[in-house]
Amino acid sequence: MNWAALVFFILGVFFALTGHLGLLKAPDVFTRLQTSSTCSTTSVLSILIACMLLSGISPFTGKVAAITIFFIITNPVATHIIARYAWEEGIVPWRRQK
């Protein structure tokens, strides 16, 4: 059980690292939204799964599962809201210079 939790912790740290790299280095609002949203969802999910594996069957696991279900519903919705706001503001998506 501990080794599975270790693997999930390392996965979470790796996904968070790539997400923050994309947040710092990407050229546009939409590309930043893509990298940060997908990587933050997967990294937080991995870390919560690792905590659930470590605590076994207990009330702690139930609370963490409730937080996981709520988070996996609301984070893509919030990303979609931000993307729609940026599109309605008239921000032109970034293209590679030819």
Applying CB under 8 A, the residues found at the interface with other proteins are: 2, 5-6, 9, 12-13, 16-17, 19-20, 23-24, 29, 32-33, 36-37, 40-41, 43-44, 47-48, 51, 54-55, 59-60, 63-64, 66-67, 70-71, 74-75, 77-79, 81-82, 84-86, 88-89, 91
Quote the least distance from Cβ 60 to other proteins, whole Å: 6
Least separation in angstroms between CB 40 and other proteins: 5
Beta-carbon contacts of 27 under 8 Å, excluding residues fewer than 6 positions away, are: 94
- Closest CA relative to residue 82, chosen from 40, 29, 11, 15: 29
